[in-house]
Chains A and B, each alone.
Chain A
Amino acid sequence: MRFDVDTYREIADSLVRNKSRSLLTGFGVFWGIFMLLFLMGGGQGLRQLISANFQGFATNTCILIPDRTTMPWKGMKQGRRWHMTYTDVERMKMMVPELETVTPMVSNWGQEAVLGPNTISGNIKGVYADYQNIEEPQLRYGRYINESDVLHGRKVCVIGKRIYTSLFPQGGDPCGTMIKVGPVYYQVVGVDFNSGNMNINGSADEAIVIPLPIAQKVYQRGNDIDLLCATARKGFKSSQLEDRMRAIMAREHQFDPSDRNAMFVINTEQIFAIVDNLFTGLNFLIWLVGLGTILAGVIGVSNIMMVTVKERTTEIGIRRAIGATPRDILGQIIMESISLTLVAGSFGIVFAVLLLELLKKIVSMATAGASVQADPEFQISFWTAVAAAVLLSLLGVVAGLAPASRAMSIKPVDAMRDE
């Protein structure tokens, strides 16, 4: 194969000579690569957008919430209420050593937070220091509730983003300020900007986090807790421990262990798994559709090259008669096939990049006001684009193979016998 300017000019000429045919054939490849890249970028962005909802939340957590029993048990009627107590926390820690963190929560919704003229309704969450293992705070200012706050019964709080912006519209570090929540004054020690949508007992945005013993005292809850969060140690799945925890609770609080409704269990691991599976499936679909479309386009190219070769039998015969080797002919056909695929595909890549950029703009505009701070990346990476171009060249070669071998088999005598 000889390469010079004329080689390329000839390729360009033969593609331009059949303008509408090249255009239609190229469109198949264009659309295929566009679909693949656009779907890839879209899927990636969507995944990031959804993952942002789980931001900062431990992925291996069980949340146990007491509910009414739905089955009679040992002479007790169904529909009975039962309460979790702090003793359950200690019991779980002792009886299920596979658990890493076991931490309770006491909450109270709809508490008025007041500072000077500013008021906002928020949710009290009474927790221990190790609650941050469950819902990781993103502290803008100050610190989280610590062990000594709990030990000394300090009236301190960590406030969520919305509480902060409402009570401190002028901004700045609020730590040390006293705010009134419900009947009690608390000193602000931290501001949590966590914006994930996966929260226990209300959004972190509107939470006022205080030490749990204070919450129990203020709201006269005695030793009761609202719910219990437990994370499994590395190597264990929280879903595997669920049944054991259920059994322990059932024995202690006297309900039927098979009564699934007596205790409501949220398993984040399962939720994450569902989302993960969803995206694995989605990705598979994207590849299937994308590659399928490209393949259809490439088969179109192969087909049209076949027609071209047939039409140009005489021309190829003439070339062979004046000294072209079969390799020259092979090179010419393959190069044409690559060029068609690559040029059409490049437009597809560019179009996908442009459209993804637009999508990114639209999504970031739409989510600008939302509480979830996600900046999903819809755009494909540079190397993805390069890989796509390489893939296109390869597919171009593949598409050219059959027509080229046909062209190579053309003998000069056969070609020039004019019928």
Chain B
Amino acid sequence: MLIELKDVNKTYNNGQPLHVLKGINLGIDSGEFVSIMGASGSGKSTLLNILGILDNYDTGEYHIDGRLIKNLSEKQAAAYRNKMIGFIFQSFNLIGFKTAVENVELPLFYQGVNRRKRHELAMQYLDRLGLAGWAGHYPNEMSGGQKQRVAIARALITNPKIILADEPTGALDSKTSEEVMQLLGELNRQDKVTIIVVTHESGVANCTDKIVHIKDGVIGRIEDNREHHSSMFGTQTIMK
């Protein structure tokens, strides 16, 4: 098991305490392509943030690759985020005053990779995502799909084991959504990257091999979707 959650609980304590995750048990193997679905407010993003060590959980255990992720120092957490995990967000979260290639380079900057090498690598990844011509452009000069591909390049550049995507298609139209999902699928198949996608679009979930349903803070049904038949509209395209 690459990722293992045992009875993970999380309560938000600002003002009224809100018990969001009520004992999550979940295992994900290396190389899986998983989606997490659930109603709005069911705790999907909260779970994903815990998986990405962006946030802490209260009780339970979370292991990555057998190592317990708990009470890490900021430095250790930063190192995990930098080397093991790549993030893709609904709102892309590119840095606006940096060009596409500079955005992609950034994780390597924090690894201490030298300037030329990281530029070279960043160009390679942009090329792979069909954005070589856009390297010098700023995010506000690009379409949503292009921005998301830049974000994917940035997530990939450190060669992470896990990619976590929080509604990566949430801000995209159906055609670009499909492209992005295809891209993630390819990455999963070719590079054997473990990918976890949070979504509430069944079409998006249908692109993944396994669908985890979360309801009221606990894991409900776990669907095997290797046949990609879960969505009645999902076989051909992603409906918006």
Are both chains from one complex? yes
Seen from chain A, the residues whose Cβ lies within 8 Å of a Cβ on chain B are 2, 4-6, 13-14, 17, 314-315, 318-328, 411-413, 416, 418
Chain B, residue nearest A316 (CB): B95
What residues on A are CB-neighbors of B97 within 8 Å? 13-14, 17
B115's contact among A5, A13, A418, by CB below 8 Å, is which?
A5
Chain B, residue nearest A412 (CB): B54
Cβ distance A14 to chain B, nearest Cβ, rounded Å? 8
Residue B233 is within 8 A (CB to CB) of chain A in the complex: no
For chain B, give the interface size range: 20 to 34
What residues on A are CB-neighbors of B78 within 8 Å? 320, 323-326, 328
A324's contact among B49, B52, B55, B110, by CB below 8 Å, is which?
B110
Residue B153 is within 8 A (CB to CB) of chain A in the complex: no
Is the Cβ of B52 less than 8 Å from the Cβ of A323? Answer: no
- In the complex, what distance in Å separates the CA atom of A326 from the CA atom of B112? 15
- In the complex, what distance in Å separates the CA atom of A181 from the CA atom of B70? 104
A322's contact among B55, B91, B110, B114, by CB below 8 Å, is which?
B110
Is the Cβ of B91 less than 8 Å from the Cβ of A418? Answer: yes
- In the complex, what distance in Å separates the CA atom of A2 from the CA atom of B91? 28
Is the Cβ of A328 less than 8 Å from the Cβ of B55? Answer: no
Q: Given that A5-B115, A315-B95, A416-B93 are known contacts, is A321 also in contact with B110, CB under 8 Å in the complex?
A: no
Chain B, residue nearest A327 (CB): B75
Cβ distance B148 to chain A, nearest Cβ, rounded Å? 15
State which of B32-40, B82-90, B204-212 sits at the interface with chain A. B82-90
A323's contact among B49, B83, B91, B95, by CB below 8 Å, is which?
B83
Is the Cβ of B55 less than 8 Å from the Cβ of A326? Answer: no
What residues on B are CB-neighbors of A319 within 8 Å? 95, 106, 110
Is the Cβ of B110 less than 8 Å from the Cβ of A328? Answer: yes
- In the complex, what distance in Å separates the CA atom of A326 from the CA atom of B79? 11
Chain A, residue nearest B102 (CB): A6
Cβ distance B215 to chain A, nearest Cβ, rounded Å? 22
B112's contact among A2, A322, A327, by CB below 8 Å, is which?
A2
Q: Given that A323-B78, A323-B81, A326-B74 are known contacts, is A318 also in contact with B93, CB under 8 Å in the complex?
A: yes
A321's contact among B74, B83, B87, by CB below 8 Å, is which?
B87
Chain A, residue nearest B90 (CB): A418
Most chain A CB neighbours (cut-off 10 Å) among B49, B54, B74, B78: B78
Q: A315-B95, A325-B75 are in contact. List 10 more A-B contacts (CB 8 A).
A: A2-B112, A13-B97, A17-B97, A318-B93, A321-B52, A322-B81, A323-B83, A324-B110, A325-B74, A418-B91
Residue B11 is within 8 A (CB to CB) of chain A in the complex: no
Cβ distance A109 to chain B, nearest Cβ, rounded Å? 80
Chain A, residue nearest B96 (CB): A315
Q: Given that A315-B95, A413-B49 are known contacts, is A323 also in contact with B82, CB under 8 Å in the complex?
A: yes
Is the Cβ of A4 less than 8 Å from the Cβ of B110? Answer: no
Q: Given that A318-B93, A323-B83, A325-B75 are known contacts, is A2 also in contact with B109, CB under 8 Å in the complex?
A: yes
Chain A, residue nearest B87 (CB): A321
Chain B, residue nearest A322 (CB): B107
B97-156 with Cβ < 8 A to chain A: 97, 106-107, 109-112, 114-115, 154
B54's contact among A5, A6, A17, A321, by CB below 8 Å, is which?
A321
Cβ distance A108 to chain B, nearest Cβ, rounded Å? 85
Chain B, residue nearest A317 (CB): B93
- In the complex, what distance in Å separates the CA atom of A413 from the CA atom of B52? 10
Q: 30 A-B contacts, Cβ less than 8 Å apart?
A: A2-B110, A2-B112, A4-B114, A5-B115, A6-B109, A318-B93, A321-B52, A321-B81, A322-B81, A322-B82, A322-B87, A322-B107, A322-B110, A323-B82, A323-B83, A323-B110, A323-B111, A323-B158, A324-B78, A326-B75, A326-B78, A327-B75, A328-B78, A328-B110, A411-B54, A411-B55, A412-B54, A412-B81, A413-B49, A418-B91
- In the complex, what distance in Å separates the CA atom of A284 from the CA atom of B234? 80
- In the complex, what distance in Å separates the CA atom of A324 from the CA atom of B78? 6
- In the complex, what distance in Å separates the CA atom of A187 from the CA atom of B155? 101
What residues on B are CB-neighbors of A328 within 8 Å? 78, 110
Is the Cβ of A323 less than 8 Å from the Cβ of B107? Answer: yes
Is the Cβ of B81 less than 8 Å from the Cβ of A6? Answer: no
- In the complex, what distance in Å separates the CA atom of A333 from the CA atom of B196? 34
